[in-house]
Amino acid sequence: MTDAYVVGVDMIKFGRFPDRTVPQIGAEAALLALDDCGLTIQHMEALYCGNLGQASGMVGQRILQLIGQTGIPVVNVSNACATGATAFREAWAAVKAGLYDCVLAVGVEQMGKGLLGGAGGATGIPKEGLLGSGTMPAVFAEAGMEHSRKYGTTFEQFAKVSVKNHHHSTLNPKAMYQIETPLEVVMNAEMISYPNTKLMCSVNVDGSAAAVICSEKKAKELGLMKRAVKVRASVLTSDPWQERDLVMPDVNSCTRLAAKKAYEMAGLGAEDIDLVELHDCFATAEILHYENLGLCKDGEAGMMIDTGAVALGGRIPVNVSGGLLSKGHPLGATGIANIYEVATHLRGEAGKRQVQGARIGMTHVIGLGSACGIHILEKA
């Protein structure tokens, strides 16, 4: 099988664009990614489009209606917060399988404000606040408190994740926010669902990101190897059975399974990874994934945030983009925006937030329900 390379990748600055349509927002990133590698829509042999909010709305085709109707196959993808990563993976798989030599993956989302999560079934009475909470901040708070019960992780340690990621975002012009949030500001912000305060919840934003993926032969033929980034591993898992997962969506076991498979596929280990963009939908979640991804041993996640090992300049910088907490989390776009961030570092083009000497990076997303997508990328 051929190797597959990201030859063009970009994202728009995340924000709130209520006056634009989903296809318009997606088309902007698609054109940016094409421009990044100097190709045109005529070079693209297929489009994989990730979007959640209009999952039945043929968003991919409507993007092509804005940027070039070449008649190529379009696959519209929906997989919760793993939507973008899944679209990217489908594009990668098609190139790996030899179906196409050059394809486009786009992730796009237009979000409302406010809480995410189910309020219960359509019949009967609302279960929220009656049978506990199904809101996302509470669900991820409970997952974080499970870590607290095992290892004594504190509210302050969870809060430090937000301090770090907000700091990182001050160096990223494409992040929604560029605001420093000191520890006392994070801890004293409105409590949403203990231990997650408002500043420990990801930001609902609109956004899009896109990537052009080529086979090795095509990338060489087009003279695009210089800035190409090799996809060393692409893994998608669903949630393996866990004893509490009827009531406690499990983000740990699907991540551990995906990480193991990704390291195997890439033929390397966590010690080889230079930076990670992981799914910090809530500050509590990031702590769990240090261990789930093998960045440290079980029980050491609190120490990782305390010592700055996961900050820019540390042993293994995590979410130098600002993460979902401050860059923003447009659900369907997030997975490809992560690819953009890591690829930008591997290309040495990340400016003030550049992870020096980065050669190999990892992206990780979780779609609750559940889906975990992991990619390992390497500078070609």
Partner 1 sequence: MSKKPLPVVDYLKIPDSGDPYLEGHKCGSCGAIFLGERNVCSKCGARDKMQAVKLASKGKLYSFSIVHRSFPGIEVPYISAVVDLEDGATLKGNLIGVEPDPAKIKFDMPVEVVFADALGRKDREGNSYLSYFFKAKA
Nearest to partner 1 of 137, 332 (CB atom): 137
Reduced to 3 states (helix: H, G, I; strand: E, B; else coil), residue 374 is strand
- Tell me the Ramachandran region of residue 356: left when phi exceeds 0, alpha when psi lies from -120 to 50, beta otherwise: beta
State residue 29 phi and psi, 5-degree precision. -65, -40
How near is the Cβ of 24 to partner 1 at its closest, in Å?
A: 30
Tokens of 48: 């994989």
DSSP structure string for 302-332: HHHHHHTTTSTTSSS-B-TT-HHHHT---HH
How near is the Cβ of 137 to partner 1 at its closest, in Å?
A: 7
The set of catalytic residues is: 81, 329
How near is the Cβ of 23 to partner 1 at its closest, in Å?
A: 30
75 contacts 18 by C-beta, under 8 angstroms: no
378 contacts 225 by C-beta, under 8 angstroms: no
49: which strand partners? 76, 106
109: which strand partners? 207
State residue 163 phi and psi, 5-degree precision. -60, -45
Cα(135)–Cα(236) distance, rounded to whole angstroms? 25
How near is the Cβ of 202 to partner 1 at its closest, in Å?
A: 15
Cα(110)–Cα(363) distance, rounded to whole angstroms? 22
| Closest CA relative to residue 314, chosen from 298, 324, 303 | 303
The footprint of partner 1 (CB under 8 A) covers: 115, 119, 123-133, 135, 137-138, 141-143, 145-146, 148-149, 155, 190-196, 241, 243-244, 246-248
Nearest to partner 1 of 43, 160 (CB atom): 160
| Neighbouring C-alpha atoms within 13 Å toward the C-beta of 90 | 22
How near is the Cβ of 187 to partner 1 at its closest, in Å?
A: 12
How near is the Cβ of 261 to partner 1 at its closest, in Å?
A: 21
| Closest CA relative to residue 33, chosen from 176, 275, 206, 213 | 213
Nearest to partner 1 of 129, 267 (CB atom): 129
Reduced to 3 states (helix: H, G, I; strand: E, B; else coil), residue 296 is coil
H helices of 8-153, in order, are 22-37, 59-67, 83-96, 136-151
